[in-house]
Structure 1
Amino acid sequence: MKDFERKQLLERLDREGATVGASIPEEIEVQGEDLDLQSFVFEIKRRDTIPKGERDRVETAKKNLRRERLQRRQLIEDGEISFEEGEQLVEDVVGIDRALNALEQLGPANIEGEAQAQEMADRKRWMKFLKQALGHEAADSGTGRASRGR
């Protein structure tokens, strides 16, 4: 992989809205074990409260996911991999981030309200991304146009 391709992949990971539109992988290998990640996250999120025994399981899963995320990112940064392999690693890391976000927000929750809040947050990140991409990031007048003539 060329240096500019590696940099491009790492920038995709570091974007604030990187997880917008991303889905949690159905299955992923984490620390050498296959994990039905999507099922696990939805199973845990579906409950009103997390029993004490399950909290340990969730905390262990989060710790392992963070470790796996770091290892995959490191592979993109330093590994001798192809651009295609790097793209797959980026998709994996973004999916892991999405799962971690879901697991971090655990607690008594209204699922419908949570879904609406997530949708609003996704919309907000998307609009910020569009403003940045279109060069309107510095606009603070509320018009959506970057000021000219400064």
Structure 2
Amino acid sequence: MQEFERKQLLERIEREGATVGAAIPDEITVQGEDVDLQSFVFEIKRRDTIPRGERERVDRAKKNLRRERIERKELIEEGEVSYERGEELAEAIIGIDRALNALEQLGPADLEAEAKAQETADTKRWMKFLQKALGHEDADSGTGRAGRGR
């Protein structure tokens, strides 16, 4: 995979509206286990609230989906896969994000954790805005020192 292709894929999966119109995958392998993801999400979403017994199952699923997303993103970041495989990974990541969004809309199980997650997301958006405004959108190496040392 070429460097510019890798950057395109990474930008695509991190785009704010990436999940708009995206479908939740019917089935996906998460942490080595095949999961009927679409059925699971629709089954849980049919309910107004998550029953006490299902809350752990939903939380575990969200945790596993987040872990799977990170692993697939790392495969793209490392660039050791073909562009076609990178495309497949990006589509799967967007599907995972769509499923996570649907599960997150069910209501937080832990209000404090939800508030912290929202604060973190707000901070991330603010930093991206500042980087763009200062002309450092491609310089961020993940260290928080975008554009330094030039």
Letter in 2 for 1:31: Q
- 3-state SS of 2:49 partner: coil
Which deviates further from its counterpart, 48-57 or 97-106?
A: 48-57
- 1:144 corresponds in structure 2 to none
In the aligned structure 2, how far is the partner of 1:105 from the partner of 1:3? 35
- Ranges in structure 2 where 5+ consecutive residues have no aligned partner: 108-150
In the aligned structure 2, how far is the partner of 1:12 from the partner of 1:79? 15
- 1:10 corresponds in structure 2 to 10
- 3-state SS of 1:24 partner: coil
Task: Name segments (4+ residues, structure 1) moved above 6 Å.
Answer: none
Q: Given the two structures, how large is their TM-score scaled by the length of structure 1? A: 0.70
Shift, 1:49, TM fit: 2.1
Q: Given the two structures, how large is their TM-score scaled by the length of structure 2? A: 0.70
Shift, 1:79, TM fit: 4.2
Structure 1, residues 97-150: CA drift from partner, whole Å, max 9, x if none?
Answer: 00000000114xxxxxxxxxxxxxxxxxxxxxxxxxxxxxxxxxxxxxxxxxxx
- State the structure with more CA Rg: 1
- 3-state SS of 1:29 partner: strand
- 3-state SS of 1:18 partner: coil
Alignment length, in residue pairs?
107
**Are residues 1:71 and 2:83 paired?**
no
In the aligned structure 2, how far is the partner of 1:18 from the partner of 1:103? 17
**Are residues 1:19 and 2:19 paired?**
yes
In the aligned structure 2, how far is the partner of 1:50 from the partner of 1:77? 35
- 1:48 corresponds in structure 2 to 48
In the aligned structure 1, how far is the partner of 2:61 from the partner of 2:14? 22
Pairwise CA RMSD of aligned residues?
0.8
Identity across the alignment (%): 77
- 3-state SS of 1:21 partner: coil
**Are residues 1:104 and 2:116 paired?**
no
- Ranges in structure 1 where 5+ consecutive residues have no aligned partner: 108-150
In the aligned structure 1, how far is the partner of 2:100 from the partner of 2:66? 8
Shift, 1:3, TM fit: 0.5
In the aligned structure 2, how far is the partner of 1:48 from the partner of 1:26? 22
